[in-house]
């Protein structure tokens, strides 16, 4: 286990950027204002619509829910409304661009779903430009680690770069077994991962709405899969294996919550937000030298 510096600078935005839309699960309208931040600041969501503008760092220690997305929230009665739902697509875009420091002002409790992928966030961030800062990036290179829970497993090995080998398995004619290997590098997130959209099965839609979820979901921002067809207007996928690529997008966003970028090779099978966050907590314990936590039980978001 090592904390490494490579001479690569920390990064932030060159100027502010704005994105507006509707949250996937809450259906609430939201504006994101991406703002530059200094070195060692990290990424922080700021709820500008609430009294005292509570600040929620993008960190695993404040993850409060992993049901169909990753939610950050603050403890205490004063901050009982201070939540930001479904942060993983935004964080995945930041990981893909190598951005370490930023304030993200949000005026509602869930970022816009955009088109269900990370590409629209990537577009506005790239247009604003990335700014190098005067301090080096720090990376975490973990020791070998294995996480297993039921049919889900992750195998982590130290490496010189971040490579995710993601596998999924659905008993469904449009999905089945899919596998993709992705190594983070300049331009590769945009071309290989960023456009992969979130997905669900058509029979799940009403159940999700009864749970208070997917209120902002539509055929414009999710791939809805039926037994004999894709329901989206275009009737085609953006990648032949778009489903496993979106799971990779989600995993990258959840890994951002570790607090440092990784130098590791991670093999992941049947991933979901709950297991992703449990893995991050295991990595964080290794990073700080603490006793690894017992993985919490998770509601299936696979």
Do residues 100 and 12 touch, judged by C-beta distance below 8 A? yes
What element of type H or E holds 149?
Answer: strand 145-149
Q: Which residues are catalytic?
A: 273
Give the dihedral of Cα atoms 97, 302, 286, 160; nearest 10 deg: -40
* Neighbouring residues of 138: CB distance < 8 A, sequence distance ≥ 6: 3, 4, 5, 260
**Separation CA 68–CA 85 (nearest Å):** 10
**Separation CA 88–CA 49 (nearest Å):** 21
DSSP H helices in 152-290: 188-192, 205-210, 242-255, 273-288
Do residues 156 and 255 touch, judged by C-beta distance below 8 A? no
**Separation CA 30–CA 24 (nearest Å):** 11
Q: Distances from the Cα of 182 to the Cαs of 20, 86, 238, in angstroms?
A: 29, 23, 17
Do residues 22 and 112 touch, judged by C-beta distance below 8 A? yes
* Neighbouring residues of 53: CB distance < 8 A, sequence distance ≥ 6: 46, 47
By C-alpha distance, which of 33, 3, 36, 1 is closest to 20?
33
- Tokens encoding 24: 């996937």
* Residue bearing tokens 């370490």: 100
């Amino acid at each position: 286990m090592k904390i490494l510096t490579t001479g690569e600078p920390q990064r932030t935005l060159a100027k502010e950027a704005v994105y507006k839309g509707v949250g996937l699960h809450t259906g609430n309208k939201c504006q994101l204002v991406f703002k530059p931040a200094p070195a060692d600041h990290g990424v922080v969501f700021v709820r500008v619509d609430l009294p005292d503008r509570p600040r929620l760092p993008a960190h695993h220690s404040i993850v409060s829910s992993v049901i169909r997305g990753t939610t950050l929230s603050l403890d205490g009665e004063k901050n009982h409304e201070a939540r930001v739902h479904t942060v993983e697509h935004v964080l995945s875009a930041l990981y893909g661009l190598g951005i370490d420091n930023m304030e993200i002002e949000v005026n509602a409790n869930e970022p816009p779903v955009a088109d269900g992928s990370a590409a629209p966030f990537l577009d506005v961030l790239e247009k604003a430009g990335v700014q190098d800062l005067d301090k080096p990036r720090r990376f975490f290179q973990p020791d070998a680690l294995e996480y297993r829970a039921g049919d889900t497993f992750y195998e982590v090995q130290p490496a010189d770069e971040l490579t995710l080998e993601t596998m999924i398995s659905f008993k469904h004619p449009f999905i089945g077994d899919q596998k993709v290997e992705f190594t983070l590098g300049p331009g590769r997130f945009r071309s290989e991962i960023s456009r992969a959209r979130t997905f669900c099965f058509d029979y799940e839609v009403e159940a999700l709405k009864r749970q208070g979820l997917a209120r902002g979901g539509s055929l414009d921002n999710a791939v809805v899969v039926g037994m004999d067809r894709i329901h989206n207007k275009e009737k085609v996928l953006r990648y032949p294996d778009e489903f496993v690529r979106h799971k990779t997008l989600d995993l990258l966003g959840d890994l951002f919550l570790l607090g440092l970028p990784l130098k590791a090779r991670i093999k992941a099978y049947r991933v979901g937000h709950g297991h992703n966050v449990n893995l991050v907590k295991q990595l964080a314990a290794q990073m700080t030298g603490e006793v690894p936590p017992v993985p919490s039980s998770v509601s299936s978001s696979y």
